[in-house]
Structure 1
Amino acid sequence: MSASYFQERATPASQNGFSPASPSVGPASRGANALSSRITSVLSASYADLEIRDALETLDARGIQNTAETRRQLRLDVQKEVIQCNGEIVKDFGQVAEQLKRIGTAISSLNSYCADMRSHIAAANRETGPVLEEATSLISQRKQVEAKQHILHAFSTHFLISEEEATVLTSTAEPVNEDFFQILTRVKKIHNDCEVLLGTEDQRLGLEVLEQSSKQLNSAFQKLYRWIQREFKTLDLENPQISASVRRSLRVLAERPTLFQSCLDSFAEARESILSDSFHAALTGSTSEEHIATKPIEFHAHDPLRYIGDMLAWAHSTTVSEREALENLFISDGNEIKRSIQAGLESEPWLRGEEDAEVFDGRKALNQLVSRDLTGVTRLLRQRTEQVVQSHDDATLSYKIANLIGFYKGTFSKLLGADSDVLDIFETLEASAMRQFRANMRDYVANVQSDLAVAPVDLSPPEFLEEALQMLRVLAKSYDTSVAATDDDGQGFLAVLAEALDPFLSGCENLQKDMKLPDSAIFAINCLFAAKEALSRYTFADERISEIDDTIDENVAKLTEYQHQYLIHESGLINLLDALSEIEDSGESLKTIPKLEAFKPDALVAASQQLDEFLPSALIDASENIKKLRNRNMIQNITEEAAGKFCEDFEFVEGKMMAADDLTYDEEKDDEEQEPGLREMFPRTSGEIRVLLS
């Protein structure tokens, strides 16, 4: 549009035949100059200006045509639009001002209403203030009166008991029943709650109530103590159910540890006497009762081991029955008794030094009580068992008795706990039986040592060792059937080996000292193998078997070396090995081998002939040296190992000779002119040796 606009403006000047450079002569000339200067100003303007460009885009958007009418009306139209826009803005601001006036009027009305309300509220407060203060004071006084009434009623109902209740609690004519325990619980609570009264300013009331409740509690516990004593005298333990009242009474009496322990002591003494009489009756049959369930043990069990076993079995059966009868006494109410004892220690602080070290354990207390009940039984058991042990000189019997006692010791340990006093008796009896076992074994060893002479001609285990191993098998079987085999991982059997095996092996070693190889090693291996065979069935003897294996290996090594020496001496190879002992691997040293005395032609040919004569029967002859070994496989293994070492020695000699031949060979000479090599005079190869000795 802008291009067409300028074209239309420039056309009239060109039609009149004037140019911008034409001189002006008259009015026409002045008009032409004015047009020319306008055109010049238009052309000189920068149309890159943003304002001009925006104006032109606005004209284009309006779709205005470049005509003379449009150019005249353009400014008027623009001014008209501006005036209309300003009028609309003024109209809108008028509406805004009208709304603001309305808002101002509303705010003024609200302020007036608030001022009125504040004045009314202030007047109401002035009128009702005294009434509210008086009502608050009356309510506070009423609450104080009600609180005092409540405290007085609570004190009278909580800290005081009636005369009838006091009679039920303290009088021995009244029974120990549910009412007694309920009243006792209430008085204990009163006694404990007196601490609250003692914390007040006026402690007189608290002291009076505390003194009265203490007297009532002491009388109640004395009554309960005497009642339990009477009940224990008539209590039938054959019936495993102890009455609930007795269990509850003991649980309550535990709050007085002194009285509680006194009850248990008297009960234990009574039961100890009863069980001792029962055990004596079971042993001898002498009893005041009209019947005996079984035959007397002393008349029925003739074998000493059976006799001791029957006594231990009776003691175990009685312990189980006693424990089952008393179990409900401590196990079911154990936690209650524990809490009661703790409360009693607090009420009797002078006992804390004795009782506070250990917390009450119901199961432990049960075990201790049963242990005390069995004191008389274990005393008789110890006397009878020691008599049996000391009256027999059979070592195996003593050891079987020790194992039997050890078995029951483990059983009683599981039944009564590891710290039971009954276990001390079992440990004493077990130690006594083991002492008798060791004494009997030492006497037997002393008798055997006096008869030791020489080893058998066939180098088999001597008779005293065979007898000892037969006894050892019996002892090992007895140990294997006892719990000690699993409890101590075989450590307990080491003491048996020290008494029943080691002295006899030492005797075999003494016989071995007068022997020479290979007999000494063969005899030692035969004896050790017999001992190993006797112990090999039992895993708890693995440690000793390992020691025996090490000793056997030492003697096998001696036999292997003996066989090796036999092979190299009988084959003549020892001369060659001795001659090569000073030869080094250097060339100069190897060249001196043919000059050695043992490697001269005559000596080397003789050694080759001796080797050829030895090889066919080498293994058979070597096996004859150790044929007295009772283990056939060991004879073969030892001989084969010795043959292997012999082959290694031969390979050493062969290698030295081949190295010497290589260094002394003269390539410039013909084979016929060469002197015979060492290998030609000693033709056997290591491969041939291994085949012949395989």
Structure 2
Amino acid sequence: MATSYFPERSAPPVRDSSSPASPAPGAPSRSANALSARITSVLSASYADLEIRDALETLDSRQIQNTAETRRQLRLDVQKEVVECNGEIVKDFGQVAQQLRRIGSAISSLNTFCDEMRTHIAAANRDTGPVLEEATSLISQRKQIEAKQHILTAFASHFFISETDSTVLTSTAEPVNEEFFQALTRVRRIHHDCQVLLGTEDQRLGLEVLEQSSKQINAAYQKLYRWIQREFKTLDLENPQINASVRRSLRVLAERPALFQSCLDFFAEARENILSKSFYAALTGSASDTQQLNTKPIEFQAHDPLRYVGDMLAWAHSTTVSEREALEVLFISEGDEIKRSIQAGLESEPWLRGEGDEEIFDGKKALDQLVSRDLAGVARLLRQRTEQVIQSHDDATLAYKIANLVGFYKSTFVKLLGADSEILDLFTTLEGSAMRQFRANMRDHVATVQSELSVAPGDLSPPDFLEEALQMLKVLARSYDTSIAAVDNGGDSFQSVLAETLDPFLSGCENLGKGLEEPGNAIFAINCLTTVRAVLSLYSFTSDRLGDMDDTIGEHKSKLIEYQTEYLTHASGLQPLMGALSEIDESLDSIRTIPKLPPFMPESLVGISQHLDEFLPSALIDAAENLKQLRNRSMIQEITEEAAGKFCEGFEFVESKILAADDLLYNGTDADLTEEQTPTLRDLFPRTSGEIRVLLS
């Protein structure tokens, strides 16, 4: 602060204890203690104390100067202010006491009024008590009635449908639309929830609701069944977008398996009638008023019997594909839903379940069966027309071509409708009928040919009936090669065709060959077999038969080689030498007898040697002339070369015996026994095996 309220004091002068002015140590000791206490109190006071700070701030606000006069008047002024404040307080408390007296009188009057009110309230409680009890009871009953009303409303809304929904569900005048399916779904849920009501003690309500919902459900399914039948009559399967309501209706109707199957039967019967009429119209052109044909009738444009049958089969295949694609939307896209619906229906009607663990519903199998039933009428008409074609023609190749064509379409329908399809019986029957007609025609033809057989041709070429048979065989082989059977069974089924069309004619050729002399019989057989082999080698499915024919040709070829070898042996003059040496063995005594054999006499041996020299230059040409009627020129050369090889082997045998005899008689121990030198066998027969091989190569 600017003004100090406690100015510094000068230190008191130090006085000597011996000074005369110091007080006596007795009486003034109390004043000294009081001063000391005062000083201690002042010194011990903390100027940071809040009370001191407040006091100092109060003094500062009064603008009091720190003077001696102010200090003397300060206490008096403070006491004066205190007295004035106390007076005001006493005055204020007097007013408060006066107010309290008024409040006390008001409280007394209020207490009196409250007592009177208590008396009136007690009297009112005695009078209104029974009324309140009755009101409480009525309120409780009202709450119970409201709760029952709420339960009844909820029960009615859950277990009953409105008259409008009932009409939509059962009336045939109302369409089958989304409202119908929603109402049916709700009634089925009501029927299912009735199980909860049947679990209570009083089952009468549950039975009534169950009976009512059952009637409504049955009426709805009957309505749906009749509606689907009407839709099937006008359903356009040519349109790939089949009405979605029909698919949904079939899925819902599947919960009644009996109605569902009856509906499919009706649909199959209707489609069978429609397809039969369409097929007849495609054949004859006699279309109904509502049916327009965009192509010419099959019977008018298919003059060839094979094309006629092919066009009918092609129409049946095209119709089957279209029918399957159209019906696939009904059974494949909704297959799982239909299966679940039928499962639910069988659970509700277990007496409809069949015996065993058979599959409940297979959409693909059901589709194949339905398409097969739709084509039943077409199959009957197709079978009738095809059998007429087969039986009215005596051409065996035509019957076989029809059999292959039917077999091709049979494999196609197997892929399309499965191996268990009933329509496949049609193709099996037609294929069997065509093959029977083919065999019958072939046997008649063979019988005719056999009655005309006489002798083999003079040039030993294949006879005309074999050439005709091979022409027919080419046609049959091409037909078989283009059929699916050539891939499926590797040509096994063609063996029966060969047995009918080739084996009888080969047997005829064999019989003709028996009347020929060698080598004509072998040449004739080889000419026939090679001609047949040239035809069969064009096809891979005749490999087994080619192997057998190669073996037979090899046998006849061996006969020709033996014949040529014998010809070379006889024509060369070696036959006497080889005949004489056939009895000579390897013993020395036997070899000594060789020069004494008639063919080895000098005159005879020289004549044989000269004949051999004359034969060798044209030996191969003369030998090949024996086989000039063999049509395979390379085989002539091959047979002649092999025969020449065997001839050389025979010559080597003769040469070896001649050399052995010369060594024994002229160079061995017997040389001293000879009195005079005679020509050796080698001198008389100078040709060597090397020279023979060179001349015959």
Q: TM-score, normalised by structure 1?
A: 0.71
Q: Quote the offset at 1:568 in angstroms.
A: 1.7
Identity of aligned residues (%): 71
Which one-letter code corresponds to 1:514 in the other structure? Answer: G
Distance 1:664 1:515 in 2: 49
Counterparts of 1:575 and 1:342, CA distance in 2: 99
Q: Which residue of 2 aligns with 1:302?
A: 303
Match of 1:287 in 2: 287
The answer to whether the aligner puts 1:341 opposite 2:339 as a matched pair is: no
1:521 Cα offset (Å):
0.6
**TM-score scaled to structure 2, two decimals?**
0.70
* Matching residue of 2:365: 364
Structure-2 residue corresponding to 1:454: 455
Alignment root-mean-square deviation, CA: 3.3
How far apart, CA to CA, are the structure 2 residues paired with 1:511 and 1:482?
Answer: 35
Q: What is the Cα deviation at residue 562 of structure 1?
A: 1.0
Aligned to 2:504: 503
Residues 231, 221 of structure 1: alpha-carbon distance in 2 compared, 3 angstrom cutoff: same
In structure 2, what is the equivalent of residue 13 of structure 1?
none
Whether the 8 Å CA contact 2:268–2:370 is kept in 1: the answer is yes
- State the AA in 2 paired with 1:656: K
TM-fit CA distance, 1:172: 3.4
In 1, Cα distance between the equivalents of 2:641 and 2:582? Answer: 25
Shifted more, 304-313 versus 345-354: the winner is 345-354
Residue 407 of structure 1 corresponds to 408
Deviation at 1:367, TM superposition (A): 1.6
CA deviations 1:603-648 (Å, max 9, x no partner) are: 4333323322222221111111111001111100000011111112
1:510 CA drift (Å):
1.1
- Note the C-alpha offset of 1:575: 2.8
State whether residues 159 and 190 of structure 2, in contact with CA within 8 Å, keep that contact through their aligned partners in structure 1: no
Q: Which amino acid aligns with 1:221?
A: Y
Query: Any conservation in 2 of the 1:170–1:216 contact (CA below 8 Å)?
Result: yes
Question: Cα distance 1:586–1:176, how it changes in 2: closer, same or farther (>3 A)?
Answer: farther
After TM superposition, give the deviation of residue 249 of structure 1 in Å: 2.0
For 1:638-691, what per-residue CA distance to the aligned partner results, in whole angstroms no more than 9, with x for missing partners? 000111111122222323333343344446869996654433332221111110
Query: Is 246-255 or 180-189 further displaced after alignment?
Result: 180-189
Change (3 A) 1:659 1:262: same
What is the letter of the counterpart of residue 288 of structure 2? Answer: S
Letter matched to residue 161 of structure 2:
E
Residue in 2 that maps onto 1:65: none
**Residues 666 and 674 in structure 1, CA contact (< 8 A), matched pair in contact too:** no
Mean Cα deviation higher: 595-604 or 643-652: 595-604
1:472 is the counterpart of 2:481: no
Q: Tell me the CA shift for residue 272 of structure 1.
A: 0.7
Tell whether the 8 Å contact from 1:168 to 1:180 is kept in structure 2 after alignment: no
CA distance, structure 2, for counterparts of residue 586 and residue 340 of structure 1: 103
Amino acid at match of 2:683: E
Deviation readout 1:98-120 (Å, 9 max, x if unpaired): xxxxxxxxxxxxxxxxxxxxxxx
Quote the offset at 1:437 in angstroms: 1.9
Map 1:392-431 to 2 at 5 A. 392-431=393-432
What amino acid is aligned across from residue 577 of structure 2 in structure 1?
L
CA distance in 2, matches of 1:605, 1:618: 19
- Structure-1 residue corresponding to 2:54: none
The equivalent of 2:72 in structure 1 is none
For 2:575 and 2:532, locate their aligned partners in 1 and report how far apart those are by CA, in whole Å. 38
Residues 612, 225 of structure 1: CA spacing in aligned structure 2 closer, same or farther, 3 A cutoff? same
Secondary structure at the counterpart of residue 680 of structure 1: helix
Query: Matches of 2:486 and 2:253 in 1, distance apart?
Result: 46
Q: Residue 382 of structure 1 aligns to a residue in which SS?
A: helix
The separation in 2 between residues aligned to 1:450 and 1:233, in whole angstroms, is: 63
Deviation (angstroms), 1:157: 8.3
Rounded to whole Å, the distance in 2 between the matches of 1:537 and 1:364 is 42
SS in 1 for 2:353: helix
- Match for residue 519 of structure 2? 518
Counterpart check, 1:164 vs 2:155? no
Matches within 5 A, 1:151-230: 161-164=159-162, 167=166, 170-173=169-172, 175-181=175-181, 184=184, 208=207, 217-230=217-230
Q: CA deviation at 1:419?
A: 2.1
Q: Distance in 1 between matches of 2:196 and 2:582?
A: 107
Residue deviations 1:364-402 (CA, integer Å, cap 9, x gap):
211211111111111111112222221222222222222
SS in 2 for 1:288: coil
Deviations 1:425-444 (A, max 9, x none): 12212222222222222222
Residue 250 of structure 1 aligns with an amino acid whose one-letter code is L
Q: CA deviation at 1:232?
A: 1.5
Cα distance in 1 for residues equivalent to 2:662 and 2:332: 97
CA gap of 1:435–1:163, structure 2 versus 1, over 3 A, is same
1:691 counterpart residue number: 694
Query: 1:120 maps to what in 2?
Result: none
SS at match of 1:163: coil
Contact persistence 1:323–1:370 (CA under 8 A): yes
Which residue is equivalent to 1:326?
Answer: 327
Letter in 2 for 1:171: T
CA apart distance, 1:190: 7.2
Distance 2:377 2:584 in 1: 87
Return the offset for 1:360: 2.7
**Aligned in 2, Cα 1:649/1:185: closer, same or farther, shift over 3 Å?**
farther
Report what 1:647 is aligned to.
Answer: 648
**Does structure 1 retain, via aligned residues, the 8 Å contact 2:166–2:216?**
no
Letter in 1 for 2:663: D
**Shift in Å, 1:187:** 6.1
- Distance (whole Å) between structure 1 residues aligned to residue 297 and residue 190 of structure 2: 59
* 8 A Cα contact 1:525 1:555, kept in partner: yes
Q: 2:683 aligns with which of 680, 683, 686?
A: 680
Of stretches 378-387 and 580-589 in structure 1, the one that deviates more from structure 2 is: 580-589
Map 1:83-162 onto structure 2 (within 5 A). 161-162=159-160
Instruction: Give the letter for the 1:266 counterpart.
Output: F
Is the Cα–Cα contact under 8 Å of residues 194 and 206 in structure 1 kept in the other structure?
Answer: no
Letter in 2 for 1:420: S
**Aligned residue in 1 for 2:113:** none
The aligned counterpart of 1:238 is 238
User: In the alignment, which residue of structure 1 is the partner of 2:638?
Assistant: 637
Instruction: Call closer, same or farther: CA 1:191–1:160 in 2, change over 3 Å.
Output: same
Which structure: larger Rg? 2
What displacement does 1:458 show? 0.3
Question: In the alignment, is the contact (CA less than 8 A) between 1:485 and 1:540 conserved in 2?
Answer: yes
Residues 242-261 of structure 1 aligned to structure 2 (within 5 Å): 242-261=242-261
Q: Cα 1:437–1:667, aligned 2, differ >3 Å: closer, same or farther?
A: closer
Deviations 1:487-538 (A, max 9, x none): 3322232222222211111111111111121000101111111112222222
Deviation at residue 362 of structure 1 after TM alignment = 1.6
Q: Secondary structure at the match of 2:354?
A: helix
Range moving further from structure 2, 171-180 or 277-286: 171-180
Counterpart of 2:392?
391
Aligned residue runs from structure 1 range 36-75, under 5 A: none
2: CA distance between counterparts of 1:456 and 1:574? 33
| More divergent stretch after superposition (165-174 vs 276-285) | 165-174
- Native 8 Å contact 1:191 1:214 kept in 2: yes
Rounded Cα–Cα distance in structure 2 between residues aligned with 1:554 and 1:450? 29
Q: 1:384 to 1:679 in 2, by over 3 A?
A: same
Structure 2 unaligned regions, length at least 5: 1-146
Alignment of 1:652-667 (within 5 A): 652-666=653-667
Q: d(CA) in 1 for partners of 2:317 and 2:245? A: 29
Q: Does the C-alpha gap of structure 1 residues 660 and 356 become closer, same or farther in structure 2, counting only changes over 3 Å?
A: same
> Structure 1 residues 666-675 or 580-589, which shifts more?
666-675
CA offset at residue 191 of structure 1? 6.7
Q: When the two structures are aligned, how many residues end up with a matched partner?
A: 541
Q: Which residue of 1 aligns with 2:557?
A: 556
Provide the residue aligned with 1:95 in structure 2.
Answer: none
- The one-letter code sitting in structure 1 at the alignment partner of 2:287 is T
Which blocks of at least 5 consecutive residues in structure 1 are unaligned? 1-148
Residue type of the alignment partner of 1:517: E
